[in-house]
Structure 1
Amino acid sequence: MQIILASHSQMANGVKKTVELIMGQQPNLHAIAAYDDEQESLEKLVTAQIEKKPHDKFIFLTDTIGGSVNTTIAQIIYDKKNMFLITGMNLPLVLTILTTKLDNYSFEQIANKLEDFCEEARKELKVVHITAQKAEDF
């Protein structure tokens, strides 16, 4: 299973570095920083990742729905088997995916697991109210 983090500029690289600080080197985790400096097009960068392991399953995580990174990847993987796209990446979601063995699951089972993971990742979004005396979150 290949995990590809893709974002506008450096977000994907930052998430990857943070994951590897926590978990160590992750050979199946890759980052694409789109539109950053003078590099190849996003299409070429994504296609190159797929061509490295054409028979693997891929999970793409992007920064925001409706953004050019997300829509470009959606167009590239539209008719490909064993490729999944999640938008709104966050660190807990990436860590959960990396610590769960999904390789032997069917397409439908992976899709269901990813839905569950996204639901859990949503729970990480909280407003934390801090007072001088105590910290409280809800």
Structure 2
Amino acid sequence: MTRTLVVLAGHGSLPSGMRDAVELILGEQPRLRVAELPPEQTPEGFRRHLLKVLDEGTPAVVLTDVFGGTPHNVAAVVAAGRDDVEVLTGLSLPMLVEVITSGADRARELAEVGVRAGREGAMHTSLMTRVPPPGAVDG
């Protein structure tokens, strides 16, 4: 069975940093790819780069850093022409870990895992650990 690729697309070296972090936690990830947008690259240049990353013809889920940014916009246009490519935005380490470790393999299923993990991975933890001031009434 062909494993769905997981492609990290984003500004600067963020995709490589996310790959490094997830591989520090989980070990080498052969199906993980990166597509980085350096400051001097045009949207068309990024599109060509992303197409090379996706050129294996393998299904893929593309995790982008920010909605409306060039990496996301380009990935969305590329995915619009392919049934086997899904695009998520809001890339985070919890999202990436869950996608990589998920038993799901189809791009659409991995996208659903990623969205759920992204939502659940964002927490305001200081509210969980903050001690109420003396005399505060709970309620």
State the TM-score, normalized to the length of structure 2.
Answer: 0.79
Distance 1:73 1:33 in 2: 12
Q: Does 1:120 align with 2:124?
A: no
Q: Give the % identical residues.
A: 21
Letter in 2 for 1:71: N
Does the CA contact (< 8 Å) of 1:10 and 1:36 recur in 2? no
> Gaps spanning 5+ residues in structure 1: where?
none
Q: Deviations over 1:111-130 (max 9, x none)?
A: 35533441232122122328
Deviation at 1:101, TM superposition (A): 3.0
Q: Assess, with a 3 A threshold, how the Cα gap between structure 1 residues 128 and 64 changes in structure 2: closer, same or farther.
A: same
Q: Of 12, 19, 31, which residue of structure 1 is paired with 2:15?
A: 12
Match of 2:129 in 1: 135
Name stretches of at least 5 consecutive residues in structure 2 with no aligned partner.
Answer: 131-139
Determine the C-alpha separation between the residues in 1 that align with 2:27 and 2:113: 25
User: For this pair of structures, how many residues does the alignment match?
Assistant: 127
Q: Distance in 2 between matches of 1:66 and 1:129?
A: 30
Deviation for aligned residue 1:35 = 2.2
Cα shift at 1:77: 1.8
Alignment partner of 1:84 is 2:89: no
Which structure's residues are more often strand, by fraction?
Answer: 1
Q: 1:94 deviation in Å?
A: 0.8
Alignment root-mean-square deviation, CA = 2.5
More helix by share: 2
Q: Per-residue displacement from partner, 1:60-86 (whole Å, max 9, x unpaired)? A: 000011111101111112121211000
> Aligned ranges for residues 65-80 of structure 1 at < 5 Å?
65-80=67-82
* 1:82–1:13 Cα change, 3 Å: same
